[in-house]
Structure 1
Amino acid sequence: MPNFSPFQRTREAPNLPTGTVKFILYCISSFPGLLTLMLILETGQAACNILVPYAVKAIMDGVASLTGDTGPVLKTLQQPLLLLAGLALAEIIFSRTSGALLIIIGPRLRQRTTQKLFAYLQYHSVSYFGHHFAGALAHRISETAISVNHTTWSVLCEFWPITITFSVSIFLLLGVHQGLGQYVASWVLAYIAISYWLATRCQHYAKSYAATRSQVNGKIVDAVSNMLNAKLFARLDYERRYLNEYLETEVRAGRRTFWYMERVRWFQFIAAAALKIGTVYYALTLWEGGIISVGDFTMSIALALLIISDARNLTRRFLEFFEYVGNVANGIDTIVRPHEIVDKPEATPLIVTHGRIEFRHVRFGYDPSQPVFEDLNVIIEPGQRVGLVGFSGSGKSTFVALMLRNYEPQDGAILIDDVDIAGVFQDSLHEQVSLIPQDPSLFHRSLKENIGYGKLDAEDAEIIGAADLAHADEFIKDMKEGYDALVGERGVKLSGGQRQRIAIARVMLKDAPILILDEATSSLDSVTEKTIQENLDRAMGRKTVIAVAHRLSTIAHLDRILVFDNGRIVEDGSHNELLDRKGFYHRLWSMQAGGFLPEEAVSG
């Protein structure tokens, strides 16, 4: 077995950090200059906003110093009025420039995060995708990308300006009176500390709520994807009840989160009232004692009200911030996991010149304690066409999955042209092997794009030629948009037989030296199947072919048949040879019902 580090990842995947803060810093690392400029602009905006009460103080003190002669009012107040106008103008310039930068950075940041998460997700194994809803994964990527944006803007456009507001306010109040400034500073420090503590305790609720929403989203996607089944079994009411159970879970998780937030708001309002009443009372006693001027009194009250306003927002923003952080953490936990199967550091490209396949002492189990194969040994010679037969669960699909390296054996080796596939690039392996699955899945793209997926630089004539060989050209030409027609999600606009023909055309266009057929013509009528089978036989040429079959007649003409039973190859030979032996294969052939094998052996 390869000796990988505990956290292994594919070299081609982005090196995404697993820590939440490091992940966010990684995502924003492409915009250092613009984000620094935004920080400066937000500093300027916040400073201008909080200095407005200082300008008002200067105006009030100027007004208080005037005598009954009102003639020189504007001249006397010229400096504070210019300061007020300058602060207002500067605040507009700083804020709107910062807003323009946010518009420039925001969509790009979300795009970068989505790209990196999707690129990392691509390299997870088949087993990973088997344990996660596709809709839930898509939702997780989207929500993580949005939350990275919101977290960044929370720090830059909310927490940082609030820090500037609090700092400048305390500095101004200390200039008015040491005691008053210290009182407000103490309140601010205590408020921030308690708000942060309350918000961190809310993080658990927010993370749980985000995970529940993601699960519910996955259930909705699953239900919508299987709407036809629900209708065919008259289970629409059942599906509503089934979904409602998960919606109720989401409601409970939401209520836990919102009730906690409500308790936080009680603290926020009580604390705000304490600052408001305390500051007014303290400033009044100072003014009454002639210690501060009327302008100082006015500025103190204005600053206290601004602090209260920002403090209330701070509590709410802390809660939102930790929800965003929880979403990011949830996304990292779901996606940025160790890759299950990775290329070795010394991996080389696989170049198939002959197509010889060998399973050498292979031991494998989906659960290692319950192996499917124990010391499996088999050689498929170059150009040989081999059928795999056996009851369900006998090991046929596992044999194919191991050859495609969807899973890795616990022991032994699988070799192609005497090269261990564990030591080659996975992409190069998949370029050399074609698979026509029993239930092919198509992209929600045009027919031309789906067929051309087998060879991205294929000319139109090549695509049409492959479609003709697969007997798909006939129904495609009958469609209104022809080869430009969209097939729907997973190809739902096409019949099963049409989807299978598109999959066959795609593989014919790919023209890989090793071909795997997993009951590739099972959805076709007998006439079409016979014609396509002839075309497939011609397309096989000198390829090495492995055909998994439930209908034995489809593989009777192949060079060799491997008979599987409980993870062992119990018989090996041609169709006629195996029938002559009167053994397991003869029994399978005799048991066929309508040309198909039963799911398991019939006793008696």
Structure 2
Amino acid sequence: MLFNVAPAQIENTEAPPLPATSFGFCFRYVTAYLWGILLMAALEAGQAACSILLPYAIKQIMDAVTLAHTLKIDVWTKVESPLWLFGLLNLGIVLFSRASGSILIMLGPTLRLRVRRELFAYLQHHSQRYFLSHFAGSLANRISEVSLGVANVIWTVLFDFWPLIISFSVSLILLIGVNLELALTLGLWIAVYVLISFLLALRCRQYAQKYAAARSMVSGKIVDSVTNIMNAKLFARREYEQTYLGGYLNTEVKIARQTFWFMERIRWFQFIAAMILMLGIIGYALKIWSANAMTVGEFAMAASLSLMLIEQARGLSRRFLEFFEYTGNINDGVSQIIQPHEILDPVNAKNLIVKSGTIKFHKVDFSYVAGKPVFQNLNISIKSGEKVGLVGFSGSGKSSLLNLILRLFEPQSGSILIDQQNIHSVSQESLRNNIAMIPQDPMLFHRTLMENIRYGRLDASDNEVIEASKKAHAHEFIMDTEEGYESLVGERGVKLSGGQRQRIALARAILKNSSILLLDEATSALDSITERLIQESLVYLMRHKTVMVIAHRLSTLSHLDRILVFHQGQIIENGSHAELLRLNGHYAKLWSMQAGGFLPEAADIQVRS
């Protein structure tokens, strides 16, 4: 395909191999649309040549008129051919420019779409650690700026630099035919001027990159503040947020002024240099003409070409500045997004096949930060269909265990097996397809309720979605909304209560119907009445599944097959609720410490070795 007009039809589940340099990144998309770009380059060359040849056609007309008056013959017989040339050149400008513009309409949006799609695809493969370290708004802003920057870099070369090269070349050839010294003087000035402009603009690149980074940072801060607007209201921190954001806005303004002042100094140079040359060239051409060394038409052509080239060269500095601003934006985005992926699938990774749902941790060592281990030599075996609870104070490693099963983080050593298959040797997609997770804070898209529930299984019918909602006791409140299942939930589900979001997450898990189920405080946001209803749904959902449950409300775990008691990254007790109470150890003390059915965040408890 010449233009690859429909890239959205391409399905790619792997991260695209994106270059980590701004030049390599741009070149990737030049080669992807090479034939369309080459055709546009040819058309732009034709337009530039026609435009710069107009002074030559005017010279021919003026010389023809002068000759006709000298010979006292009919003017029209002499100017007919030059007029035809003048008309054809204007027609060529129209046809070449509009043909190039038509291709741009087809190519431009498609190119930007492809850049955004591939950057997003690459971003998706980053680990959870990466996303915890970056603002979502800043990343989204960088994707937008990089896609725009790539397009602008290509169009600047194609529509600004390339036509200028054609114009300079044709003009100097024409001027050589009039006066070699004039042509050499103008050519030398243009070469020196372009070189100095390029070097100055090159120095501006570091300013442009800092400015792009500052804009992305401010965008991220604004998104973070807007996302937490309720916190600002609850704590009456409106003025504080304005002041806090104002500090970053002032930093952006400071960097912007540094960038723009440097650009302004470059413009002073280019305007003064262009003014001096304009006066010098016109004066030099007048001297040659007064010495009868050129005709009136040649003088007019030389003056017109010189003025056109000087004006275009003066605009070249601005284009250099814009070009390096675009490359600065690209470099900023590429450096932040195109980093090595922390968690990778092995080459030709197989799909995980789950039949029974056994889970085994074998000598697993894990830490988020070097020197601060979460697990050391952790060994766990969970049978098929077993229902296991995880108990412990905050920070004891319960959620980390689930994160490792989902492969959101990698252990430093050891292995994790599901049905005797090492999860590090299978694809991440197949792993997570076989696990349903209901987190403490359900994550919903700003989409309809139907879409959010169907996210558990994309090929589910409307009736299946509704049936899953009924099992999760979500159908009732959904039907009470204004648009039912077509109601939008707001960003991150802000239009729903905590309990409603939890029930949507439960319906999604019921619909997914995976062999392994992970629950992280799945009922913590529910009132007692709703929790009893949800417990019925959970009993249905847990049937024939291997289940791991985190809960601070220990009564939630009392009916499970087994409970693992965590303390500082170690499993210190293991058994059923009744067995652990009879043991009268750590779990029994936790049971007695419950306030309102919940564990406290932490306590000083001596742990038996």
Partner of 1:338: 340
Deviations 1:125-157 (CA, angstroms, capped at 9, x unpaired):
111111111111111111111111111110111
Query: Which of 516, 525, 528 lines up with 2:527 in the alignment?
Result: 525
The whole-number CA distance in structure 2 between the counterparts of 1:71 and 1:475 is 95
Partner of 2:274: 272
Partner of 1:183: 185
Query: Which of 436, 442, 450 lines up with 1:448 in the alignment?
Result: 450
Query: Which of 224, 228, 231 lines up with 2:230 in the alignment?
Result: 228
Q: Which amino acid aligns with 2:584?
A: K
Is residue 275–residue 304 contact of structure 1 (8 Å, CA) maintained in 2? no
The whole-number CA distance in structure 1 between the counterparts of 2:540 and 2:493 is 27
- Sort the Cα spacing of 1:11 and 1:447 in 2 relative to 1 into closer, same or farther, 3 A: closer
Partner of 1:458: 460
Partner of 1:477: 479
The percentage of aligned residue pairs carrying the same residue is 55
Is residue 398–residue 566 contact of structure 2 (8 Å, CA) maintained in 1? yes
Deviations 1:324-374 (CA, angstroms, capped at 9, x unpaired):
111111121111111110111142111111111111100010113211111
The whole-number CA distance in structure 1 between the counterparts of 2:13 and 2:544 is 34
Please tell me the root mean square deviation across aligned C-alpha atoms, in Å: 1.4
The whole-number CA distance in structure 2 between the counterparts of 1:183 and 1:27 is 39
The whole-number CA distance in structure 2 between the counterparts of 1:74 and 1:551 is 101
The whole-number CA distance in structure 2 between the counterparts of 1:461 and 1:60 is 82
The whole-number CA distance in structure 2 between the counterparts of 1:174 and 1:111 is 46
The whole-number CA distance in structure 2 between the counterparts of 1:237 and 1:603 is 43
Deviations 1:539-572 (CA, angstroms, capped at 9, x unpaired):
2112110001111111111111111111111111
Query: Which of 294, 297, 303 lines up with 1:295 in the alignment?
Result: 297
The whole-number CA distance in structure 2 between the counterparts of 1:71 and 1:524 is 102
Deviations 1:174-199 (CA, angstroms, capped at 9, x unpaired):
11111111001101110111111011
The whole-number CA distance in structure 2 between the counterparts of 1:132 and 1:163 is 42
Partner of 1:7: none
Q: Which amino acid aligns with 1:61?
A: D
SS at match of 1:490: helix
Q: Superposed, which structure 2 residues align to 1:516-555 within 5 Å?
A: 516-555=518-557
Q: TM-score, normalised by structure 2?
A: 0.96
Q: Which amino acid aligns with 1:422?
A: H
Partner of 1:254: 256
Partner of 2:80: 78
Is there any run of 5+ residues in structure 1 with no aligned partner, and where? Answer: 1-9
Stretch deviating more after TM superposition (157-166 or 17-26): 17-26
SS at match of 2:492: coil
Q: Which amino acid aligns with 1:405?
A: R
Partner of 2:507: 505
Is residue 368–residue 410 contact of structure 1 (8 Å, CA) maintained in 2? no
Partner of 1:433: 435
**How far has the Cα of 1:71 moved from its partner?**
6.2
Partner of 2:33: 31
**How far has the Cα of 1:602 moved from its partner?**
4.5
The whole-number CA distance in structure 2 between the counterparts of 1:83 and 1:11 is 56
Is residue 366–residue 413 contact of structure 2 (8 Å, CA) maintained in 1? yes
The whole-number CA distance in structure 2 between the counterparts of 1:535 and 1:287 is 97
The whole-number CA distance in structure 2 between the counterparts of 1:444 and 1:467 is 18
Is there any run of 5+ residues in structure 2 with no aligned partner, and where? Answer: 1-11
Partner of 2:153: 151
The whole-number CA distance in structure 2 between the counterparts of 1:253 and 1:468 is 56
SS at match of 1:140: helix
- Sort the Cα spacing of 1:76 and 1:517 in 2 relative to 1 into closer, same or farther, 3 A: same
The whole-number CA distance in structure 2 between the counterparts of 1:71 and 1:133 is 79
1:355 corresponds to 2:344: no
SS at match of 1:386: strand
Partner of 2:6: none
Partner of 1:91: 93
The whole-number CA distance in structure 1 between the counterparts of 2:15 and 2:75 is 70
Partner of 1:4: none
The whole-number CA distance in structure 1 between the counterparts of 2:64 and 2:181 is 25
SS at match of 1:51: helix
Deviations 1:264-309 (CA, angstroms, capped at 9, x unpaired):
0011011101221121121122112221122111111111110111
Is residue 208–residue 325 contact of structure 2 (8 Å, CA) maintained in 1? yes
The whole-number CA distance in structure 1 between the counterparts of 2:454 and 2:95 is 52
Is residue 500–residue 520 contact of structure 1 (8 Å, CA) maintained in 2? yes
Is residue 388–residue 546 contact of structure 1 (8 Å, CA) maintained in 2? yes
SS at match of 1:15: coil
**How far has the Cα of 1:169 moved from its partner?**
1.0
**How far has the Cα of 1:70 moved from its partner?**
6.8
- Sort the Cα spacing of 1:567 and 1:603 in 2 relative to 1 into closer, same or farther, 3 A: closer
**How far has the Cα of 1:209 moved from its partner?**
0.2
The whole-number CA distance in structure 1 between the counterparts of 2:70 and 2:104 is 51
The whole-number CA distance in structure 2 between the counterparts of 1:461 and 1:98 is 51
Q: TM-score, normalised by structure 1?
A: 0.97
Is residue 28–residue 109 contact of structure 1 (8 Å, CA) maintained in 2? no
Q: How many corresponding residue pairs?
A: 595
SS at match of 1:598: coil
Query: Which of 309, 312, 326 lines up with 2:311 in the alignment?
Result: 309
Deviations 1:32-85 (CA, angstroms, capped at 9, x unpaired):
222111111100100011111111111222233243787612222112121111
Is residue 363–residue 376 contact of structure 1 (8 Å, CA) maintained in 2? yes
The whole-number CA distance in structure 1 between the counterparts of 2:482 and 2:243 is 40
Is residue 69–residue 75 contact of structure 2 (8 Å, CA) maintained in 1? no
The whole-number CA distance in structure 2 between the counterparts of 1:602 and 1:569 is 17
The whole-number CA distance in structure 1 between the counterparts of 2:506 and 2:97 is 59
The whole-number CA distance in structure 2 between the counterparts of 1:33 and 1:374 is 57
The whole-number CA distance in structure 2 between the counterparts of 1:246 and 1:386 is 48
Q: Which amino acid aligns with 1:365?
A: S
The whole-number CA distance in structure 2 between the counterparts of 1:70 and 1:15 is 73
1:14 corresponds to 2:5: no
Q: Which amino acid aligns with 1:110?
A: R
Is residue 16–residue 118 contact of structure 2 (8 Å, CA) maintained in 1? yes
The whole-number CA distance in structure 2 between the counterparts of 1:379 and 1:497 is 33
Is residue 555–residue 597 contact of structure 2 (8 Å, CA) maintained in 1? yes
**How far has the Cα of 1:23 moved from its partner?**
1.3
Q: Which amino acid aligns with 1:174?
A: I
The whole-number CA distance in structure 2 between the counterparts of 1:423 and 1:35 is 42
Is residue 138–residue 219 contact of structure 2 (8 Å, CA) maintained in 1? yes
Q: Which amino acid aligns with 1:556?
A: S
Q: Which amino acid aligns with 1:235?
A: R
Stretch deviating more after TM superposition (244-253 or 76-85): 76-85
SS at match of 1:306: helix
Is residue 519–residue 548 contact of structure 1 (8 Å, CA) maintained in 2? yes
The whole-number CA distance in structure 1 between the counterparts of 2:188 and 2:548 is 77
Partner of 2:470: 468
1:217 corresponds to 2:219: yes
Deviations 1:380-403 (CA, angstroms, capped at 9, x unpaired):
111111111111111111111111
SS at match of 1:372: strand
The whole-number CA distance in structure 1 between the counterparts of 2:422 and 2:38 is 51
Q: Which amino acid aligns with 1:289?
A: A
The whole-number CA distance in structure 2 between the counterparts of 1:27 and 1:511 is 41
**How far has the Cα of 1:30 moved from its partner?**
3.1
